[in-house]
Amino acid sequence: MRTKLVLLGAVALLAYVVGTRTPRVQVKNRESVGHQIVRLWNDPGARKRRRKAAKKATAAAEKRAKKTFRDLRG
């Protein structure tokens, strides 16, 4: 039982150390939150992901609408 407790403590300590060493989001000095949002919104990668998500959502909505209409007709 004591070895399990020591092992659990060692794992918790290791997880804490690894967690504190992970890189955090880098925020440029003196950059307002509004400016950060605009910069992230205009990021080409983010635009591509938004466009892809919108296409996927549109296709799913159309598919669901067709299925619902078909079920209503009956």
What's the pLDDT at 31? 74
**Contact criterion met (CB below 8 Å) for 46 and 40:** yes
Structure tokens at 34: 């509004």
3-state secondary structure of 24: coil
What's the pLDDT at 57? 97
Polymer length in residues for the chain: 74
Q: How many distinct structural domains can be found in the chain?
A: 1
CA separation for the pair 6, 22 (Å, rounded): 25
**6-48 confidence digits (pLDDT tens):** 999 999 999 988 887 777 666 667 778 888 889 889 999 999 9
**Contact criterion met (CB below 8 Å) for 36 and 27:** yes
**38-71 confidence digits (pLDDT tens):** 988 999 999 999 999 999 999 999 999 999 999 8
Residue 53's domain comprises 2-73
SS3 content of the chain, % helix, strand, coil (to 5): 80, 0, 20
